[in-house]
A and B are shown apart, each in its own frame.
Chain A
Amino acid sequence: MALKGGWAGTILRVDLSTEQITRESTEKYSRYIGGMGIGYKVMWDEVPQGTHPYAEENRIIFGVGPLTGTGAMCSGRTNITSLLPSNPFHGVSDSHMGGHFAVEMKYAGYDAIIIHGKAKRPVWLRVVDQDVTLEDASVFWGQGTFNTITGITAIMGKDSQVAAIGQAGENQVNLSVIRTGPSHSAGGHGGVMGSKNLKAIGITGTGSVKIAGDRNAWHKLNKDTFAIVGANNQHVVPSTPQAWAEYHDPSSRWTSRKGLFWGAAPYPIETGEVRPEEANKIGYRTMKAIKDLGPAAEKYTVRMGGCASCPVRCHSHLKVPELAAYGVSTNVANTCVGFSGPHGIMKGTYTIEGKTKDEANVIGRTTGSQIADDYGVWCNYGQIGRDFKWAISHGYLEKVLPREEYNSLSMDKWEKGDPDFFREFYRRIAFKEGELATLGEGAYYLARKWGFGEDYWTDKNNKLWTKLGYPVHHSNESDGIVGGVISSMFNRDAQCHTHQNFLGSGLPLNVMQEISAELWGEGAIDEPANYTPVNDAKVRFIKWSIIRNILHDSLTLCNWMWPMHVSPLKERNYRGDTALESKFFAMATGFKVSEAELDEHAERIFTLHRALTAKQMKSTNLRQDHDQLTGWQFDMDPDKEAFSKGTIKLDRDDYEKALTLLYREMGWDEETGIPTRAQLTKLDLKDVADELERMGLLTA
């Protein structure tokens, strides 16, 4: 089928071992949409079972989708697929980054870049439209991400976009990132680039993305979307009571209000109140700085930034003059876990002479963010900090580190809350200096090497979701069993925000329950901390949340904003439009698909992910081998029963039942959680069924 619009139509393939650069058509992957879907298909077809993430045979795929670069709202995400080094069985996973790299790929004419092999010496990949070359990276090897991105940008020009690894990636630290722009990181696969001697990819694209549909209709659709978008995470009520708003929620990221300023802007910029109809002021709605860094961040905030085609701007750009004392740039940008992840390694609050507690908090967190980003160390969604503190509090650190190494650690700085501690911590991780660097290998490898007991996994404060070594990420605190099961379906922390954005929209429970009943049936959501057992509506909510997450990572749209289940508009009864993705897809590509049909494409991709997991684990029972929890989820709050008020405790039998119901809904073997031949065939994945059968992994 010929591709008319949306897709660039070409995939770039780079074999670093042979230095061969080839191109192929995207058509063969169109049933997998793009981004994540292309990544899984390539991994299934090309990477043999048992391949190590750092082996030449492994692929790393930078994928974008048919909506990337079209101007559809929040369509600036790059999806990176590869084997995950920190995962015990090296399962396939994805890391994602925002910024402008994704759209530049499209403008250069590519839907994906597939990289394999290993360069004989450090290189970087230079892409200027059709002119693609491998360049000597010796000058950048050993440099942090900031210098690397700056250096390559200086060579390619200011209109280029660069994705690079730091020293952590070079040294094949499992927990390492790929970073682009001033603040966008994809956590998990930096070491894969390092293992291939690939320091960076620089892209300049001078083309455009074709839209198959009518231009005016496209603009109207985009305008309609602007009318129903909220703030970051599609929060649709303001955080303070405002005259125009029927509801408010202090936890909402719609922070704009009178008297709130970007305090370090060249001239005073007040966010003011931004009403739903003020589409040109959406960028003022979310002042993430004060959410991530506390109230003192207001005076340090220069502006908010973000990704291509995103009006929401969730990345805080700050000027923090005090950072000069720690040897890092005073211009800092990041968001969410980019700030809280590094902070997690510290004992608690920061102490900085002459600074208030709130100011010290900004200085401390931004210092950690700058240093971790430059070395390119990933926090495993905050787990590295909890691991470090577990090792300290349970006496492991003193026991496993050689005496000389232990004594060389500036634990006095850690005790005092001195941000200078970040420098030596991250340096040791990034350069694999000494035993401490084991923290950078990820929870599973760390626990094994340092001999952590079972209590490491079962302590709820460690937040470890499964023994695959990843933590909670909108898990049982997000509608109980709903978030609980979603968190078990991937090979790393579930980066799924479909359910969480809905639950955190800020609307009152009765409105939320009406909307959820329309979408998934009665009983899909409960009152917070008063959860009920699994039911069919919850299972539909689980499946829909995962499928839409997969869809967004394939199209690519930002799952921190999409889908638009809700809106800030009272006149719409706060309803959003869940068919928007299919409307954009149909208009961009010219393929008329319904909402349900597009969801089925995403279901194919998720089912392929499940098959990939079975293949990689050589498992005939994913329920047992993959989907089991660490235990604290069932044993927490010993004085409370599951399904009682005030707890998010899960029930073992209910969890197993939820898995069974989800497997049934997905068309997987209800016992083993392996996709069935019938379902694989229905989803046009017969070749996958054949391969699973050949491997002895097909159970039904």
Chain B
Amino acid sequence: MRDDVKDFLAEEIRKASKEGNLTDNRELAAAGSRFFNSEFTPDMIAARVESAAQIESPDIRILQGKGCYRYYSSRSMSDSYAEILNFTAEGDDIMLIASTVRRESRTYPRPSILSQFINAPFLVKPDRLDQIAEALAADTSEYKDIQLSSASNGDRYLFSSTFLEKSQADYMAEWESVDSMEIQ
């Protein structure tokens, strides 16, 4: 396996990460083919990146997409951000929101204000937000832990009942959207 190919791939991944983007094995196959004037398939790229990530370039991280592998460098991109970009790239805004809500309820913990999903890097269409929130809150199987909470000013939040009780989520939503405006 040629080291210069692996070096090229690692640098391409790092360059994309520095610009705040993931790259995938299809894009890299095209770029590699152009650069080396030699045919690379996405599968060949996937194997080389996996090898590089294990040995020479431990900063390179791999995410599984539906039809591809996506890559980033931990030198300039966090795991949490890459996970968001991966869901965004998949075009599955329900999964994007559900996974973010679960992570925030588990990690911080806090309920997730719905309006944040309109902004980068989520970029969920505003007219989809309420629809998704209602769908998640009504779901009784895969997303049965995702629930709605509202502050008195109308701000809507989602939380995972696996990690937060509703009363806690309600308190935090009201604090964040209303009470904290008066106490700074």
Residues of A within 8 A of B (CB): 240-251, 257-259, 292, 336-337, 340, 344, 382, 463, 472-474, 477, 508-510, 527-530, 640, 644-648
Contact = CB atoms under 8 A, between A and B. Distances in A.
Given A243-B77, A247-B107, A645-B165, 20 more contacts: A240-B120, A241-B121, A243-B20, A245-B78, A258-B120, A336-B184, A337-B182, A340-B181, A382-B182, A463-B182, A477-B179, A508-B108, A509-B108, A527-B109, A528-B110, A528-B171, A529-B167, A646-B166, A647-B167, A647-B171
Contacts of A249: 108, 110
Q: Is the interface of A mostly helix, strand, loop or mixed?
A: loop
A243 B17 contact: yes
B165 A646 contact: yes
A250 B114 CA distance: 11
B168 A474 contact: no
B170 to A, nearest CB: 6
- Identify which of A241, A249, A472, A640 gathers the most chain B CB atoms within 10 Å of its CB: A241
Interface stretch (B26-34, B47-55, B79-87, B124-132): B79-87
A691 B107 CA distance: 53
Contact of B81 (A245, A250, A344, A477): A245
Interface in B73-113: 76-81, 84, 107-110, 113
A474 B122 CA distance: 32
Interface bracket on B:
35 or more
A206 to B, nearest CB: 36
A251 B76 CA distance: 24
Contacts of B79: 246
Contacts of B77: 243-244
- Identify which of B116, B165, B181 gathers the most chain A CB atoms within 10 Å of its CB: B181
Contacts of A340: 181-182, 184
A356 to B, nearest CB: 16
Contacts of B59: none
Contacts of B7: none
B88 to A, nearest CB: 11
B172 interface: yes
Interface string B10-35: 00000001001000000000000000
Contacts of A257: 119-120
Interface string B170-181: 111001100111
Nearest to B115: A250
B1 interface: no
Contact of A645 (B80, B167, B180, B183): B167
A472 B183 contact: yes
Contact of B107 (A250, A258, A463, A508): A508
A534 B172 CA distance: 22
- By Cβ-Cβ distance, the 5 closest A-B pairs, closest first, are A646-B167, A336-B184, A529-B171, A246-B78, A243-B20
26 contacts: A241-B80, A242-B81, A244-B77, A246-B78, A246-B79, A258-B120, A292-B184, A337-B182, A340-B181, A340-B182, A344-B182, A472-B183, A477-B175, A508-B107, A508-B108, A509-B107, A510-B107, A527-B168, A528-B109, A528-B171, A530-B168, A640-B167, A644-B167, A645-B167, A645-B168, A646-B171
B17 A477 contact: no
A649 to B, nearest CB: 11
Nearest to A253: B184
Contacts of A240: 116, 119-120
Contacts of B108: 247, 249, 508-509
A241 B81 CA distance: 6
Contacts of B169: 646
